Amino acid sequence: MTSLEPGTYLSLLLLIVCVVLAVFVAMLFARLDRQARRIGALEQSQKRVAEYMRGVSAGAVGQGQHVARLEQDLARVRDRMERVASSEGGGSTAFNHAIRMAQRGATAEELMEACGLSQMEADLVVLLHRDQQVQ
């Protein structure tokens, strides 16, 4: 057996420590690279979700504006119908009675029978006044 000098043992030990550290650093860099790729993928996913949400938000705003216009149109039709009902001579009492019946929950068929309205008139009265239930 050959005996190695103490400095040689120290050199070998230092070499082994350096190799272990080099392997450890290489593993850390590999892990760092995987994390960087994952972060990149998550950022892309976040951008897609943000773009989707902008589209959904714009669509919701458009739908809200459309609903507001429809509500305004409905209010104008309701107002016009009430003016027509009050301005007509003999027919006004029939329309007023039909409106009151619709507010109490009557169906279009009941309005046709009781007030002599056409199918379209009865449907319109029910459509415009059924949600204004009188207590």
Do 110 and 67 contact (CB within 8 A), yes or no?
A: no
Domain residue limits, the chain: 1-65
Residue where the block lists tokens 């239930």: 133
Question: How confident is the model over 16-33, as pLDDT tens digits?
Answer: 999 999 999 999 999 999
- Quick one: which of 62, 59, 61, 41 has its CA closest to 51? 59
Question: How confident is the model over 39-84, as pLDDT tens digits?
Answer: 999 999 999 999 999 989 888 888 988 899 989 988 887 787 777 6
Give the pair of three-digit tokens for residue 35.
Answer: 């994390």
Do 103 and 129 contact (CB within 8 A), yes or no?
A: yes
Query: Is this structure's pTM higher than 0.85?
Result: no
pLDDT in the model for residue 92:
67
CA distance 104 to 133: 5
